[in-house]
Amino acid sequence: MAKKVSRIGVLTSGGDAPGMNAAIRAVVRTGIYHGLEVYGVMRGYQGMIEEDIVRMEGRSVANIIQRGGTILKTARCKDFYEVEGRKKAYANLRKKGIDGLVIIGGDGSFRGAVAFSQEFDIPCIGIAGTIDKDIYGSDFTIGFDTAVNTAIQAIDKIRDTMDAHDRIFIIEVMGRDAGYIALHSGIATGAENILIPERKTNIKDIIESLQEKERRKKLVNLIVVAEGDDFGGAYEIQKILQENLPKAEIRVAILGHIQRGGSPSAIDRLIASRMGYHAVECLMEGRHNVFVGILNNKMHYIPLEKAVKNKGNIGGEWMKIVKILAS
């Protein structure tokens, strides 16, 4: 028989993502609707270890759905990697009577939840909150749509000056281990080349393509590169291209943390609200140690252990589309 929960905690962990506040709001209000006590854990697992835990009411989450960042703050916690740190965190939850957790975060946050739930038999539900969309088992992660739209708006502006000056622009977007932001923003802005960690960069092909375009007087070219690309990022690409195309004007723009901030898009608000609601429903139903994902517009519940062991995959069709549309 499933262990009944009565007090739940919610936390945000790892990198912040637009829409996290909408998910917090959904968890708090759904929990209260079901008669649960809801507690917010400040600064992720760090706050759990330091007992920085506050009771939340319906008004605690008023007027936050449109805000970026996270009202619960977030942090990366080295102490939680250690058994002693997790023991301390569990003792603090016991002190408050918290018997279920909702963790909003990415791959690292889910790994922490797997270890914690196995050691202390506390049910954990994950909500995928990461702009990188690098969680296996869901078509969406909170923050991805907003990050892509932020990148698109910036790239569109850069393209105006690129066209005016006949320049090659290399634009670096976030994505240390996953190239989804680069792929989506690159296709949406008509990039000639998109470089991602999932595919080995053939710099020779890029050079030959640009040299051929230079001969045809097609001097305007857009290259979108994920920060985790195997060749080393935008400045490394610029260096070798400049050596082989000495007459070309090659500029670099690093979009950086601008992609993490800002008001969440409608899609991110909706999926965050939906995931937050279903996370609490999972705890109520006794469906523990899963993360709430959306596949083909339906809710799916993927074991946390499976989510952290598997990686998403960018299919070859996407790269074929890039090649054909950029020709």
Position of tokens 């074929």?
Answer: 320
What distance in Å separates the CA atoms of residue 322 and residue 2, rounded to the nearest whole number? 48
- Gyration radius from the chain CA atoms: 22
DSSP state of 72: T
What distance in Å separates the CA atoms of residue 131 and residue 260, rounded to the nearest whole number? 7
Residue 307, by phi and psi: left (phi above 0), alpha (psi -120 to 50) or beta?
alpha
3-state secondary structure of 28: helix
What distance in Å separates the CA atoms of residue 33 and residue 281, rounded to the nearest whole number? 11
CA angle 263, 264, 268 (to 5 degrees): 175
The reply to whether 145 belongs to the active site is no
190 residue type, one letter? G
What distance in Å separates the CA atoms of residue 64 and residue 99, rounded to the nearest whole number? 26
What distance in Å separates the CA atoms of residue 90 and residue 84, rounded to the nearest whole number? 10
311 residue type, one letter? K
Locate 136 and state its tokens: 């296996």
20 residue type, one letter? M
Locate 31 and state its tokens: 């929990």
Locate 9 and state its tokens: 């905690």
Q: Which of 16, 99, 132, 268 is catalytic?
A: 132
C-alpha neighbours within 13 Å on the C-beta side of residue 21: 19
- Max Cα distance, the chain (Å): 72
Catalytic residue numbers, as ranges: 132
